[in-house]
Amino acid sequence: MSSISQRGNERLLSEAAGTHSRDYKILVLGGNGYVGSHICKEALKQGFSVSSLSRSGRSSLHDSWVDDVTWHQGDLLSPDSLKPALEGITSVISCVGGFGSNSQMVRINGTANINAVNAAADQGVKRFVYISAADFGVINNLIRGYFEGKRATEAEILDKFGNRGTVLRPGFIHGTRQVGSIKLPLSLIGAPLEMVLKLFPKEVTKIPLIGPLLIPPVNVKSVAGTAVKAAVDPEFASGVIDVYRILQHGH
Ligand SMILES: NC(=O)c1ccc[n+]([C@@H]2O[C@H](COP(=O)([O-])OP(=O)(O)OC[C@H]3O[C@@H](n4cnc5c(N)ncnc54)[C@H](OP(=O)(O)O)[C@@H]3O)[C@@H](O)[C@H]2O)c1
């Protein structure tokens, strides 16, 4: 099937489900990153209007979909730089996050995203989706600032957006990650692990110490599919969506 007729079919499906692609304008924060670029691609495939904001702006990828995104440059730590990009936007999906010192992790996973949540709420955005992360038990203590930031953003979303806010909590996200000119095939490890670990009952992840290591990795396409659904479907469950629900929704 050609990509155009596939795109047409996706649009018909979304319209049959009551979601009209023309009604939604999606802003992906961090749309030039690993997860963000897959989300941009998925939203375009479904016929939505897509823009992105990040500090470096346009994606460095040479793929054809890149020309279909409106690229903004801005920094969530300077919330005023976000305002022009929010004009006319109905849904925001934030893929902004990262690692560093504890205080850097609190700022990027927390403060920066909390700024975005507040700016979006002030601008009357309908739906907000955040790519957060699953709890990793004792590992959480090693990157405390990362989880502190993530959970603070989650609380802000649930407070400001209520049942129009969705938090996705994946574990390891596998797929093809572009680093410079190299494509890293993370699925070589991630896909077999996903296949095996998703056969285990969810309860095993609660076993002290080793449980969190049994959280199934998830394909970046499943995360992207779930994020777009959450961004445009008023019927989509709000609140925290764990890996197991991402695996259900993303297929
Ligand atoms: N990858 C995984 O396995 C995984 C697993 C669980 C959860 N997650 C979460 O999923 C999200 C996306 O991860 P990823 O792997 O796609 O990360 P990534 O490739 O590093 O993407 C991060 C994006 O955020 C943008 N960004 C960083 N600081 C910013 C700021 N101050 N203002 C505006 N944009 C900013 C970056 O672009 P610029 O540098 O151009 O600003 C980039 O586009 C993160 O929140 C991460 O914690 C990832």
Most confident of 5-19, 71-85, 177-191: 71-85
* Token representation of residue 158: 């649930």
Least confident of 3-7, 132-136, 162-166: 3-7
User: 244 CB less than 6 Å from ligand 1?
Assistant: no
Cβ-proximal residues to 155 (8 Å cutoff; 6+ apart), any chain? none
pLDDT tens-digit map of 161-172: 999 999 999 999
Mutating to test ligand 1, I would choose from 105, 131, 247 the residue with most ligand atoms within 8 A of its C-beta, which is 131
Angle at 109 between CA 80 and CA 224, to 5 degrees: 95
What's the CA-to-centroid distance between 108 and ligand 1, angstroms? 9
Cβ of 173 closer than 6 Å to ligand 1, yes or no, is yes
Tell me, what's the pLDDT at 161? Answer: 98
Give yes or no for residue 14 having a pLDDT over 90.
no
Which pLDDT band holds residue 54 (cuts at 50, 70, 90)?
Answer: very high
Whether ligand 1 lies within 6 angstroms of the CB of 170 is answered as: yes
- Report the separation in Å between the CA atom of 165 and the middle of ligand 1, taken as the mean of its atom positions: 19
Separation of alpha carbons 79 and 87, rounded Å = 14
Domains of the chain and CATH, by start = 3-249 (3.40.50.720)
pTM for the predicted model, two decimal places: 0.93
Q: 98, exposed or middle or buried, with CB in 10 Å at 0-12, 13-18, 19+?
A: middle
Point out the ligand 1 atom lying closest to the alpha carbon of residue 112.
Answer: 31
pLDDT in tens, 91-114: 999 999 999 999 999 999 999 999
Confidence of residue 137 (pLDDT cuts 50, 70, 90): confident
Any ligand 1 atom below 6 A from CB of 32 = yes
Q: Is 172 in the pocket of ligand 1 (CB under 6 A)?
A: yes
Out of 67-81, 114-128, 137-151, pick the least confident.
Answer: 137-151
Q: How far apart are CA 74 and CA 67, in angstroms?
A: 19
Do the Cβ atoms of 130 and 113 come closer than 8 Å? yes
C-alpha torsion sign, points 129, 187, 136, 180:
negative
